[in-house]
Amino acid sequence: MLTDGRLEVKNFSVSYYGYGRKVEEAEFSLDEGEVLCLLGAEGSGKTTLLRGLAGLEESEGEVKIGGRELFSLPPKEREICYTFGEDSLEKKKTAAENILKPLKLRGASEEYMRQRLAFAARLTGAENILREKVKGLPPFYLAQIILARAFVRETNLLLLDEPLSSLSFTQRKRLFDRLRAAAGEIGGRIIYATERPYEAQGLPDKVGIMSEGRLVQCAPLSEIYKDPAHRAAVEAFAPEISLLPARAVKAGGWAVEIGGERAKCAPLLSDVYDGREVIAAVRREDVSAGGKLPAKTLGVFDDGKCRCLRLGVKGGELLCAAEGRVESVSIARAAFVFDARSGFRIDKAAEKLPV
């Protein structure tokens, strides 16, 4: 049954194959017509979270649409679509037969199936392969069929679990551009999981950052870039920011010490961090040549916005907009400070961040 209203997920945990919780207390909301891009490395919990939302794994917590508890409904009435991979396709049948299978299982009329097939094929560009047998088709066509099968249904929630992962960069981009253009026509709510930050940058609504089984931040990309709640957000979207091991020091005003160089930072959430190991995030504009931190030139970094030096320092690398040989640097300030173990941000500005 299709339901209007906002999707609200609260305290949602998922257990995987009986090995205990693999996703811990995820919380996010998604309005009708919005797309959430779930970004994280392999093993971060993306697939487990999607499978939990699809009802394929044991879960606990709230999943509501328009205030109605979704999991109180029989599975058939939830109208949640989870995309399975190439192995789920029936190789001896045509592309059209595979695409229409979800509707046939629901006893849809021939006229409705004809309309939805034309709709899904147009969105994915699969019009010319509908009569082709699946067996022997190249990966790009198989990905088109998988996406079209997902689009053919009208759903409350469409879960796309890395549907383009087997394709080359050029092929992924072609289909991803179609997906992005189709999002407004599909309706419902879409969650798209990927390991690739550039795909998250191409989807307009929200990005959810997954790390070690936790949804550590969920917000529009502009907010995540400006105020990251977790080091994983910096690693994904801010190559111009360096993450370095440091020691937090409160005496004389909060600062971080990096290889003997002291850099100012925002006040931390608690005095318990005084003297503890932390992770400091340093922007390239806050680094200058000459200082107490020894450095070695490794190469040049150029992101199209700024050309600067890559410098090896104690614990990692820094970027510095300097020329010539640089043997040491100074750091004016640390933009953000993260807990060394959990990765969460611990300066006081993080108290107001939605996660």
Question: What torsion do the CA atoms of 232, 236, 241, 243 make, to the nearest 10 degrees?
Answer: 30
Residue range 71-94: mean pLDDT, rounded: 88
pLDDT at 309: 87
Residue range 192-216: mean pLDDT, rounded: 89
pTM: 0.89
pLDDT at 121: 96
- What span, in angstroms and rounded, lies between the C-alpha atoms of 185 and 116? 12
pLDDT at 16: 72
Report phi then psi at 295, rounded to 5. -140, 155
Split at pLDDT 50, 70, 90, the class of 242 is very high
Q: How does DSSP classify residue 266?
A: P
- What span, in angstroms and rounded, lies between the C-alpha atoms of 4 and 137? 38
N- to C-terminal Cα distance for the chain? 30
More confident residue, 350 or 307: 307
Residue range 207-234: mean pLDDT, rounded: 93
Contacts of 75 (CB under 8 A, 6+ apart): 55
Average pLDDT, the chain: 89
pLDDT at 306: 76
pLDDT at 185: 85
Task: Output the six-digit token pair for 220.
Answer: 């529009």
Split at pLDDT 50, 70, 90, the class of 3 is confident
Whether 297 contacts 309, CB under 8 Å: yes
Split at pLDDT 50, 70, 90, the class of 353 is low
DSSP letters of 199-253?
Answer: HHHHSSSEEEEEETTEEEEEE-HHHHHHS-SBHHHHHHH-TTEEEEEEEEE-TTS
Whether 70 contacts 111, CB under 8 Å: no
Split at pLDDT 50, 70, 90, the class of 71 is confident
Whether the per-residue pLDDT at 18 is higher than 70: the answer is: no
Whether the per-residue pLDDT at 57 is higher than 60: the answer is: yes
Task: Output the six-digit token pair for 86.
Answer: 């190439």
Split at pLDDT 50, 70, 90, the class of 103 is very high
pLDDT at 203: 77
pLDDT at 324: 77
Contacts of 139 (CB under 8 A, 6+ apart): 86, 166, 167, 171
Whether the per-residue pLDDT at 355 is higher than 60: the answer is: no
pLDDT at 124: 94
pLDDT at 352: 55
- What span, in angstroms and rounded, lies between the C-alpha atoms of 280 and 231? 9
Beta-bridged to residue 276, according to DSSP, are: none
Please write the tens of the pLDDT for every residue from 154-196: 998 999 998 888 889 899 889 888 888 888 888 789 999 999 8
- Amino acid in position 247: R
Q: Which of 73-77, 168-172, 197-201, 208-212 has the lowest mean pLDDT?
A: 73-77
CA 197, 200, 206, 209 torsion: positive or negative? negative
From start to end of 53-181, where are the E strands?
Answer: 58-65, 68-69, 80-82, 157-161
- What span, in angstroms and rounded, lies between the C-alpha atoms of 320 and 308? 6
Q: Which domains does the chain have, with CATH numbers?
A: 7-229 (3.40.50.300), 239-352 (no CATH)
- What span, in angstroms and rounded, lies between the C-alpha atoms of 281 and 265? 10
- What span, in angstroms and rounded, lies between the C-alpha atoms of 5 and 204? 19
Whether the per-residue pLDDT at 80 is higher than 80: the answer is: yes
Please write the tens of the pLDDT for every residue from 324-345: 788 889 999 999 999 999 999 9
**How would you classify the pairing of strands 58-65 and 7-15?**
antiparallel
Please write the tens of the pLDDT for every residue from 248-291: 999 889 999 998 889 999 999 999 999 999 999 999 999 998 88
